[in-house]
Chain A
C-alpha cells in the first residue's frame, strides 16, 4: 500500500507542477497566441475561482502620456447638480496619502475612455448610496479630466493644459 500511495502522490505532484507551469507561462501571453487562445480558457474558470489570474504589464507597453482623474456630475430631479472629484494628491497629508493609495487604480479605471463599464456603474451607485441620492438623481455622468504630459524635449516650454471628456452616462431614474 505504501509504495502505491507514494506513486500516486508523486504522479499528482508532477501533474500539479506541469499545470502550474503551463498557467504561469501562457496566461500572460497575447490573446492571439494559440495556447492562450485555445487552451487557457479551458482551465481559466478553475484558476479564476482560486484567484490566480495575474498580469505583469504595469507601465507597459507604454506608460501613460497624460495624467487623468474622474469628475462625476450627478443631475438631481430638482435641476441641481452634485459634483464629485477626488481630493488632489497634493492636498492629502502623509497619513491620508498612505490610507487612500489603494484608490488610485480605481480612479484610473472609472475615468477610462472605454471599458470598465461595471466599475463605472459600481462607483456611481456607491456615490448615490453614500450621499443618499438614490431616487433623487436623474442622470449621472463620468468625465475624464486629463492633462497631457508635455513631450520630454519641450517640457519646459509647453504649458500644462486641462481637458475634460464625457466617458460614461447613466440614468438611474427615468425623468
Chain B
C-alpha cells in the first residue's frame, strides 16, 4: 500500500512540479481563434440568439436565470444595443487573449462574455459550448500569457528568448487534461449502457440521422460487419484516448489517433464546433518542450 507521504508526494509532483508554459500558451491561441470564429458565427444571427425579442424572450430569461447565472444580459437593458455591445466586448477581449495582452484579465473577461452568450439561450448549445466554458474557466488559472504573448514581449522584448524557458506549476493544465480524459471515459461509460452500442449497430443509426449527418453514407457500406467495426472501433478509440494520452511513451501515437478520429467525425457529422474544440483540447497533451522546439524554431 502507499503511505500518506507517498500519496502527498505524487499529488505534488503531478500538480505542482514546474514545467514549461508553451503548451498552454499554444492552446490559448488556438482556443481563442476557435472562439473568435464562433463569435462571428453568432453575430450573424445575434438578435435571434441573444436579443430581447429573440428565441428566448427577455422577461422569461430574467424569470428563469435571475441571480442564478453569471451573465451580463441579466444586468444590461434588454436592447439590441446591449447584445451588440456584449458581442463587441467578447471579440475585443478574445483578440486581447489571443495576442496575450493583459492575458489573465482578458481570459477572465472572455469567460464572463462567453458565459453570458451561452447562458442567454442554452437550448442552442451543445457539448462544444459547455467544453469551451469549462476550458475558459480553467484557463484563467494557467500561466498561458507567459509565452508567445504581448505581455512577454513587454517583459523580455522578445517572443522567444533563446536559452530561457518559463516554468510554472501546471495544476490548472492538469485539471484541463483530466477533464478531457473524463469526457472520453464517461462517453464510453454512457454508451456501453445502450444495446445498440453493445450490438455494434449504433453507427448505423448515427449515420442515418438527418439532423447531424453531413453526407449520406452509401448503403453498400452500411453492412453489419463494417458498421460493427465503426461502432466498436469508436468505443475502443475513445476509451484508449482517455487512458493513452497520459502515457508519455505513446502519447503522440494517441494524439495522432485522436486527431484522425475527430476529423473523421467532423467529416461525417455536422455538430457545431464540437469537433474543433476537441481538436484544440488534444493539444493540451503535447509535451511543452516539444511545443517550444517546434513552434519556437518556426517563429525563430
CB within 8 Å of B: which residues of A?
Answer: 13, 16-17, 20-21, 24-25, 28, 45, 48-65, 67, 69, 89, 97-109, 116, 118-119, 121-123, 125-126, 129-130, 149, 152-153, 155-156
Identify which of B64-72, B86-94, B247-255, B289-297 touches chain A.
Answer: B64-72
Shortest C-beta distance, A140 to chain B (Å), equals 15
B118, CB-defined interface residue at 8 Å:
yes
A67-B209 contact, Cβ under 8 Å, with A52-B134, A61-B191: yes
Shortest C-beta distance, B185 to chain A (Å), equals 9
B126, CB-defined interface residue at 8 Å:
yes
Q: Which of A24, A59, A101 contacts B182 (CB 8 A)?
A: A24
State in angstroms the CA–CA spacing of A126 and B64 once bound together.
Answer: 16
State in angstroms the CA–CA spacing of A57 and B227 once bound together.
Answer: 20
- List B38-64 residues whose CB lies under 8 Å from chain A: 41-42, 44-45, 49, 53-57, 60, 64
Chain A residues near B69 (CB-CB < 8 A): 48-49, 51
Contact A17 B222 (CB under 8 A): no
Complex: chain A residue closest to B125, CB-CB: A105
Contact B190 A62 (CB under 8 A): no
B81, CB-defined interface residue at 8 Å:
no
Complex: chain A residue closest to B114, CB-CB: A51
Contact B194 A61 (CB under 8 A): yes
A63-B206 contact, Cβ under 8 Å, with A54-B130, A122-B56, A129-B53: yes
A51-B70 contact, Cβ under 8 Å, with A17-B15, A149-B205, A155-B219: yes
Q: Mark B114-126, 1 if CB is under 8 A from A, else 0.
A: 0100110001111
Contact A63 B44 (CB under 8 A): no
B148, CB-defined interface residue at 8 Å:
no
Contact B131 A54 (CB under 8 A): yes
Provide the main secondary structure of the chain A interface. Answer: helix
Complex: chain B residue closest to A118, CB-CB: B64
Contact A62 B195 (CB under 8 A): yes
B160, CB-defined interface residue at 8 Å:
no
State in angstroms the CA–CA spacing of A119 and B212 once bound together.
Answer: 20
Q: Which of B187, B205, B219 contacts A57 (CB 8 A)?
A: B187
Chain B residues near A122 (CB-CB < 8 A): 55-57, 60, 123
Contact A52 B137 (CB under 8 A): yes
State in angstroms the CA–CA spacing of A97 and B193 once bound together.
Answer: 32
